[in-house]
Structure 1
């Protein structure tokens, strides 16, 4: 099984935003924290309907790509 890492962003007075650093254009949002993972999974499924197979980046590369966001309070989910 492949695991893609997502960066979860949350600004005050906004929904949770989810981006996948290694999948350009793949993103989702959720109003509640409990909706973040299911919505992210839906976004992945939709993205791969029209995209070729991609190997996920390792966690350390995701952390490097998202270093600024992580410093600002974002977090990673798999």
Structure 2
């Protein structure tokens, strides 16, 4: 399998409840990671994206093309 395209948007925020940074990948449903630091959360999100894509391939599911930036500012 060739290296997956990881140009998906990652949304990172602090969670008081989890006491960690949460990194979500909105274009890949259920693709979420966390970390003690912002950097760790984004690095973990890249691992989560790879795992999400690998699982989708194994199950024969469609992998969405990365749209990139979802929010446009005026």
TM-score between both structures, scaled by the size of structure 1: 0.66
Aligned residues: 62
C-alpha RMSD of matched pairs (Å): 2.0
Shift in CA distance, 42/58, structure 1 to aligned 2, threshold 3 Å: closer
Structure 1: give runs of 5+ residues left out of the alignment: 65-78
- Higher helix proportion: 1
TM-score between both structures, scaled by the size of structure 2: 0.69
Q: Which residue of 2 aligns with 1:5?
A: 9
Q: Is 1:36 aligned to residue 46 of structure 2?
A: no
* 1:47-78 Cα distance to aligned partner (Å, 9 max, x none): 0012133201231xx226xxxxxxxxxxxxxx
CA distance in 1: counterparts of 2:16 and 2:47, whole angstroms:
24
Q: Which has the larger radius of gyration?
A: 2
- Which structure exhibits the higher relative contact order, with contacts defined as CA atoms closer than 8 Å and separated by 6 or more residues? 1
Shift >4 Å, 4+ stretches = none
CA-CA distance at 1:20 after TM superposition: 1.0
* 1:13-38 Cα distance to aligned partner (Å, 9 max, x none): 71000111111111100012231221
